[in-house]
Amino acid sequence: MRAKALIATVLVMSALFWSAAAATVRASWRAAGELARAATLAEIGAHPQSTVVYDRNNHPAFTFYVEQRMDVPLERVSPHMIDALLSVEDRRFYSHHGLDPVRIVKAAWRNWQRGRIVEGGSTITQQLARLEQLTPTRTMTRKLREAGIAVRLEERYSKQEILHAYLNAVYFGDGHYGVEAASRGYFGKPASELEPHEAALLAAVVRSPSGYSPSAAPKRALARRNLVLRLMKDTGKLSDGEYRAALDRPLQAAAAAASTLDGSSECGGYFQEEVRRQLIAHFGAERVLKGGLHVYTSYDPAMQCAAEKAIASRIDQIARSRKSARDLQGSLVALDPASGEVRALVGGRDFGATSYIRATQSRRQPGSAFKPIIFAAALERGLAPASILHHLDEPIMTDNGPWLPGGEHEDSEYSLRAALKISSNRAAAQLLQQVGYTQTTYYAERLGIESHLPAVASLALGTGGVTLMELTSAYGVFANQGFAMSPHLILRVDGADGRPIWSEVPSRRQAVTPATAFMMSSMLADVIQSGTGTGARAAGFRLPAAGKTGTTDDYTDAWFIGYTPHLVTGVWFGMDTPAPIMNRGFAAVVAVPAWADFMKKATAGDKPDWFTPPADVEKVTICRLSGQRATEACRHGWLGPDYIQAGLTDMPGVPAGSQALGTTRPAPDTPTRQSTVYDDYFTIGSAPTETCPIHGGASMFGTSGDAGSAVPTTGIGSDGLVAAAYQPPASTHLQKIVGPDGRAVWVVR
């Protein structure tokens, strides 16, 4: 019996021994395997990097990312940040070799005392190993592998390399990976400028980004920050005075800075989206979201906010009084004509509702805003602002038969200047016939219109769809001495290493002559001064400027494109599904106030300068009554009610006349003692060569003598006007006399 018991005991002991041996072998084999695996995994890899978009002053404005991270070298991290991190996370970082036995024993003891895990013993190297290769799941296998990787990392990399990798990899909460993104996100400053209290807060959130989030748990975050500050003082990183000063600082995480960094601020959504679309089209989504690109743009934050507010407030004003306008949309483009750089871009009333960028993606009929392109083509063909268009009351022959456009302001004859100022549809239609469809579309393309334009007579009224970006850029040619600059938002793109990988080279081409550009600006200045754009003056915009309104059939689209020598701005309003904006919703009513609102802010502080006539442009004094070169006698004439009612008391081509600035206009039935002459611009050699036959021409009226005495005594009343019943001598062949505005002032019946 005893023998049997002894044998059983021996067998049990043997089984236990061999089981333990087997377990030891398996554990050793497993440990060896983990160590071998650790050797393979002990690599510091690259992490996804945020693409940072900078504004025109090289300040970060937006980011595109999978993880909000921007790697920086260790020398661009504040020493306070390193001190704070090591004080709370790994005091013996520079003395251990990946594992800290002292900390492991202390953590184990405290956890045993509490009966649960309250403290970890991981070093920064171990945390980096977990960030690089492992999951956060707590298992013995993972801890063993973590320890092995940490030891291998210490063998392969220097302490500085490990610290650099950790600071750029660790998560700081609120979507910020790495110290640079966290510093900019929480405090609106680079990591190199962190102060002790700011560095302590970032170090505090590392342990539990959600538990110590300054936005979600400010009290806990403050207590943890103060603990880090005390540890910094205990380790000699802060003096008593520095410690007390840091304690007194409030928890100052800048949510506004964070929202600006990730593009969720109240302004700039449309600009950001257009930049994103262009970057992805050029580099691909993978590189844009993970490649750490540095994108330099023409973005002007202040101008962008002013643009968005101008569009939104105008829509609100209209929608409050007209329920039909509740779906009204608007867009705006502002660019520098000399460079083509887009300063502000608004694609709709609310980016949060839709990211559709109407300024670049939507093609709408521009209405009369297209007319300056036709007029520019006419000037290129030799016409002048004072050239007369005749027979405007006669139908135009088209492929579909005779056509006579209607309009608010029509007469039988107009000069180009007057026709553009009052936006005559018939004058534009006839001018299109004279210039031709081919030449018109040719110059439209040269000015920057890429959209297809139909070769139909109604093109004169702006029936070809274009984008706001295209049309605004086209007007920029007139403000840039005839040179067309391709509009662009992105200036340069650098790689993650800071080396340039792409730069914008704007195409610069002579679209029209400097003479044409100057004369177009001269005529378009009249539109703002005394034409359909006078609402800009009424709204308080004072700088010399030029521009043109555009309204489409049934008031479905309202445009205004206007410019100073330094900024071109276009605005558009309409419904996504074309419908009337409002009853008699002319652009002068709908669009001009928003343009003026924006331009007052965007050009604040600009000098009231204007364009200088090119060398091949001359100023010639013309008599309003005859359209010929004025004599001295013309200067002493009178202007009667007809001219005042026609709005011809303002001198053409002067961008800032006194009457538009607040002086009182004479009553319509009151003659004014204003000269009947005006100055207009011509390319040298194209101005009228004949002198005025009414005030100073002897050959027409049979008078003689010098200019001062050549005024006929018969037919011209004491008020300086040709009498309505005056009949010239029988020998004359005079049919009618028209002014440069195209209105007949005297007709032989």
> Is residue 50 annotated as a catalytic residue, yes or no?
no
Short-list 159, 138, 162, CA closest to 43 = 162
283-292 contact pairs (CB < 8 A, 24+): 283/493, 288/51, 288/64, 289/48, 289/51, 289/64, 289/65, 289/66, 290/48, 290/49, 290/65, 290/66, 291/49, 291/51, 291/495, 291/496, 292/49, 292/50, 292/51, 292/52, 292/70, 292/71, 292/495, 292/496
Catalytic residue among 34, 89, 180, 504: 89
DSSP conformation letters of 313-369: HHHHHHHHH-GGGTT-EEEEEEE-TTT-BEEEEE-SS-TTT----HHHH--B--GGG
Distance CA 706, CA 290 (A): 83
Give the residue carrying structure tokens 């921007």.
70
Distance CA 691, CA 540 (A): 40
- Sequence-distant (≥ 6) Cβ neighbours of residue 26 within 8 angstroms: none
Q: Residue 568, Cβ neighbours under 10 Å: how many?
A: 29
Catalytic residue among 78, 368, 521, 522: 368
- Sequence-distant (≥ 6) Cβ neighbours of residue 605 within 8 angstroms: none
What values do phi and psi take at 454, rounded to 5?
-75, 140
Largest CA distance in the chain: 164
Q: Using N-to-C axis directions, what is the helix angle for 468-478 and 371-380, rounded to 10°?
A: 40
Per the document, the length of the chain is 749
Residue 360, both tokens: 């670049």
Distance CA 93, CA 82 (A): 11
Whether 682 and 552 have beta carbons less than 8 Å apart is answered as: no
Residue 531, both tokens: 């034409």
What is each CA distance from 361 to 331, 608, 616, 711, in whole angstroms?
Answer: 11, 34, 39, 61
> Is residue 368 annotated as a catalytic residue, yes or no?
yes
Say whether 88 sits in a helix, a strand or coil.
Answer: helix
Catalytic residues: 89, 368
